[in-house]
Amino acid sequence: MVKIIVLASAWLLAGMAAAAAPQTTPKPVAPPVHQRVAAPAQPAKPRMSDAQLEAAIRAKFAKSKSANKFTVHVQGGVATIDGKTEVVQHKGVATRMARTAGALAVNNHVEVSEAAKKKAAGNLEEGRRRVQVKRGDSRSQK
């Protein structure tokens, strides 16, 4: 019986000692090697005024061979492009130039001529035929 009391008191003292021990906070764990740490956020660039943005877009158009016949108007950071073109790609180029100049959005009202649309459709169809050529078949049309 004495042994039980001694063991119980020893167990009770050990529990009290563990409870009285100072609590340690776990150290922060470094991210695994395979994960990247997020880059700090960059401060936002100051927005250009509409007049400055319009001038920047026109300057890009002036340097380009493709978009020199388009008109641009900017209101509230949104660029509106008007004009006509004989090349389908010029429409997309005009939009990209306006976006890279700093436009928040672009309304592209450039009209592509019917001849350019037909030419692009023909090129697309020719490209499809080229892809469908089987091994051993002649690659050129005779």
- 105-112 sheet: strands from edge to edge: 71-75, 78-85, 105-112
- Examine residue 116 and state whether it is found in any structural domain, yes or no: yes
By percentage, how much of the chain surpasses pLDDT 70?
60
Q: Is the pLDDT of residue 108 over 60?
A: yes
Contact indicator for 68, 20 with CB cutoff of 8 Å: no
- Examine residue 111 and state whether it is found in any structural domain, yes or no: yes
Q: Which of 90, 89, 91, 120 is nearest to 107 (CA)?
A: 91
Q: What is the count of structural domains for the chain?
A: 1
- Examine residue 123 and state whether it is found in any structural domain, yes or no: yes
Q: Is the pLDDT of residue 2 over 60?
A: yes
59 lies in which domain range? 50-131
Structure tokens given for 126: 């020719």
Q: What is the mean pLDDT of residues 68-78?
A: 90
Please give the model's pTM, rounded to 2 decimal places.
Answer: 0.56
More confident residue, 109 or 44: 109
- Examine residue 72 and state whether it is found in any structural domain, yes or no: yes
- Examine residue 138 and state whether it is found in any structural domain, yes or no: no
- Examine residue 67 and state whether it is found in any structural domain, yes or no: yes
- Examine residue 113 and state whether it is found in any structural domain, yes or no: yes
Residue 53: which residues within 8 A CB-CB, separation 6 or more?
74, 77, 79, 101, 102, 103
- What does the pLDDT read at residue 20? 63
Return the CATH number at 119.
Answer: 3.30.1340.30
- Examine residue 24 and state whether it is found in any structural domain, yes or no: no
Distance, CA of 54 to CA of 63 (rounded, Å):
14
pLDDT digits (tens, 9 = 90+) for 22-66: 666 777 766 666 656 666 766 666 788 999 999 999 999 988 876
